[in-house]
Amino acid sequence: MKLFLCAIFSCMLYEVISFSAISIASSEYRAAIAKIDKCSTEGIPSEDLYDAVRSIDRNALKLYPNEEAKEELWNRAYGSWKLVLATGGGKYTAFKSVPIFAFAMLDEKNFGNGVGLNESAILLSLLGPHELITRRRQMVINIDDIYIGSKKATEFTPGFVKSGMGLKKRPIDYKNEGRRPPAFTFIAASENSLVARGGSGGIAIWTRLHTDIRPAAYGNDPEVDVE
């Protein structure tokens, strides 16, 4: 009996030590993010991709232990991204390639996303100011405008479409309806990849676009700060 208890204690101690050691600089994190980067760059999921994402996700409290670490995560997430892999809903654990060109854009003020033929030919885009809840690593999405091509089309969009997409709504409006606002919880971000969980629990992976998507998606709209 004593031997059995010692064995259990040793296993627990090993687990505590191993998990407490993980950080952005640790070999465990570097191996996981390298796997994610490879898959996001190639657009092809590997059999162990979900395990790599989960290893970061379950250790998020240790990887991002304070406000500074979470702010650094936000900073790494800024930029233009192409959606390449997703699990679908939260009950799925296998990533699948995304067959269309879908983008996301995050800067210090706005979040935008949309679809197109490629990064130079955007067909439909959404844009609105985000709300970053740093302590939760969560970005609440507010949609204010719709763009067709790179032209703002909000004024000409039918009311039922605006309502269905939640245009101009804010978290308080969703709260009054007894619903949660659309949001992403960030899991990881690197120079090449962005990983986040949506409201349904599904996980998405984007690969970084090295061309700023904002001119193609939003034209010369003064509300979009394009350097």
pLDDT of residue 17: 36
pLDDT of residue 153: 95
Enumerate the β-bridge partners of residue 101.
116
What pTM, to 2 d.p., does this model score? 0.86
pLDDT of residue 22: 66
pLDDT of residue 8: 39
Distance CA 217, CA 194 (A): 20
pLDDT of residue 91: 83
Kindly give the confidence (pLDDT) of every residue in the chain, 227 residues in length, as a single tens digit, with 9 standing for 90 and above. 444 434 433 444 334 434 445 677 789 999 999 999 999 999 999 999 999 999 999 999 999 999 999 999 999 999 999 999 999 877 889 999 999 999 999 999 999 999 999 999 999 999 999 999 988 999 999 999 999 999 999 999 999 999 989 999 999 999 999 999 999 999 999 999 999 999 889 999 999 999 999 999 999 887 787 65
pLDDT of residue 26: 86
8 A C-beta contact, residue 85 and residue 97: yes
Distance CA 57, CA 196 (A): 10
